[in-house]
Amino acid sequence: MSTSADTVSPSRYLALEQLERVSHDEAFVERLAVDDADERARRQARELVAGVTRQRRWLDFVLAKAYNDDYEAMESRLRQILRLGLYEMLFQSTPTRALVHQYVELAKQTLRPGAGNLVNALLRTIDRDREHIPTPDTGDEAKDLAVRHSHPTWMVRRWLKRFGAEATPELLEWNNRRPMYSVRINPLRTGDDAVTTWLDDHDVVYTRSPHLDDHLRLRRLQPLVQGDLLDDGHVAVQDESAGLIVRLLDPQPGDTVLDGCAAPGGKTMAMAGRMEGDGTIYAVDAKEERVGLIEEAAEAQGAEALVDTEAAELQAVADREDPPLADRVLLDVPCSGLGVLSKRADLRWKRAPEDLDELAALQDDLLDAAARLVQPGGLLVYSTCTIEPEENEERIEAFLARHDDFALESAEGYVPDDMVTAEGYFASLPHRHRIDGAFGARLRHVPS
């Protein structure tokens, strides 16, 4: 896409290009990169794409109400341009006159002059009536909330039943916020004082995690990237919920640990730090290219001596005549990811209700395999980054019904008390605990 004209900012061209990639190629928003643009333009484009992707259903509702024709029949590129313009108008502080001019020009240059006229008319009409933007009012509470907060209706319907009419909007609003990032200080490379001194010296605003003494919260990661703290392995991006899963496993120096779905290696590296460089971590993942990410992380973070990797299906490892046995096994299974929607802007549109059943079957298979890799007396921790019972509590209940040689242990003492459920599971809820949603269960191997 040409950016020769000076009238449209490069970031808006890039945002349009990336939205089309997400739509047509099913690219992941957080992995998008454009090599021929400066970092500022790339960052602005990523923010626009993430915002439009989160708010897409609400933006389409407002645009459809203002359009005097069939909005669904509108060509895709024109719809993306209008979404971008409306997102900036409603959610950013860009002066209306400037942004309308930009998107009119973008439509003219990437489509035709008449498309620019339509963008001008629609955006200015909505701006004039900004105080009277319509709200969804179908009489279906779930659908109206889903449109207003830009989520699939099926998700909202589930959460209304479970969390109620007061808490569900809080969850939806959390998912639509610009995410807060968390980094873990890597004790194999540095210490708390060195990292916080560097942040203070570079005027990077941070706060300490209220849950984990080795985690810091930041709004922006860019200063750490530019300062090489990430590349040098001094810190690693890791949500506090993931750090709490590692605390639930509680690996100790000298342990033999198996990480059953290890890539990209964030929890593997956190375990290495907790083990103080003493012990063995057997990191297994089904995809060879993703195992490479674990190896890169181990090298960067000083954990090569602890981590032994293998590209293999966990079920195949468990089926071996002499499978490796571990004191502690972490099984962080593939899941719907419905606890991390604030960071995965596009994920809400990629999931369907039937995915939960398919994932549950895979999760059961992986649990059965992982159980065969735990030493007698050892510990298996099952974890997810979802808040859905079908992938969490129901999987553990079904597992215990199949395996009378395992017993559930309480998460109490390993994670904050308000994240321990009545049954003894670890469960974090984004709208309640202000971190990603996650689940974990401690399962002790107690053969008779």
Helix 353-371 with 393-402: angle, nearest 10 deg: 40
Residue-averaged pLDDT of the chain: 93
User: For residues 106 and 108, what is the distance between their CA atoms, to the nearest angstrom?
Assistant: 5
Burial class of residue 144 in the structure, from the number of CB atoms within 10 Å of its CB (0-12 exposed, 13-18 middle, 19+ buried): middle
* pLDDT mean over 439-445: 98
* pLDDT mean over 322-328: 97
pLDDT of residue 218 exceeding 70, the answer is: yes
According to the model, what pLDDT value does residue 145 have? Answer: 98
According to the model, what pLDDT value does residue 226 have? Answer: 83
Phi, psi dihedrals of residue 290, rounded to the nearest 5°: -80, -30
* pLDDT mean over 289-318: 96
* pLDDT mean over 332-336: 98
pLDDT of residue 358 exceeding 70, the answer is: yes
| pLDDT tier, 29 (very low <50, low <70, confident <90, very high otherwise) | very low
According to the model, what pLDDT value does residue 25 have? Answer: 59
Cβ atoms of 240 and 211 within 8 Å: the answer is: yes
**Percentage of the residues of the chain whose pLDDT score is greater than 70:** 96
pLDDT of residue 366 exceeding 50, the answer is: yes
Going by DSSP bridges, is the β-strand pair 215-218/206-208 parallel, antiparallel, or unpaired? antiparallel
What pTM was estimated for this model as a whole?
A: 0.92
CA distances from 67 to 61, 135, 403 (A): 10, 16, 59
pLDDT of residue 196 exceeding 70, the answer is: yes
According to the model, what pLDDT value does residue 36 have? Answer: 53
* pLDDT mean over 134-140: 95
According to the model, what pLDDT value does residue 32 have? Answer: 39
Considering the candidates 99, 171, 235, 385, report the single residue annotated as catalytic. Answer: 385
Q: Which domains does the chain have, with CATH numbers?
A: 10-132 (1.10.940.10), 141-175 (no CATH), 181-236 (3.30.70.1170), 240-445 (3.40.50.150)
* pLDDT mean over 263-287: 96
345 or 371, which is more confident? 371
According to the model, what pLDDT value does residue 448 have? Answer: 77
User: For residues 257 and 375, what is the distance between their CA atoms, to the nearest angstrom?
Assistant: 10
| pLDDT tier, 2 (very low <50, low <70, confident <90, very high otherwise) | very low
pLDDT of residue 301 exceeding 60, the answer is: yes
According to the model, what pLDDT value does residue 389 have? Answer: 98
Closest Cα partner for 260 from 367, 352, 341? 367
According to the model, what pLDDT value does residue 53 have? Answer: 96
| pLDDT tier, 277 (very low <50, low <70, confident <90, very high otherwise) | confident
CA distances from 333 to 124, 136, 184, 370, 406 (A): 48, 37, 22, 11, 18
According to the model, what pLDDT value does residue 26 have? Answer: 52
According to the model, what pLDDT value does residue 3 have? Answer: 41
- Dihedral of alpha carbons 41, 7, 86, 347, sign: negative
Catalytic site includes residue 261 = no
* pLDDT mean over 305-313: 96
| pLDDT tier, 22 (very low <50, low <70, confident <90, very high otherwise) | confident
According to the model, what pLDDT value does residue 231 have? Answer: 87
DSSP character at residue 35: T
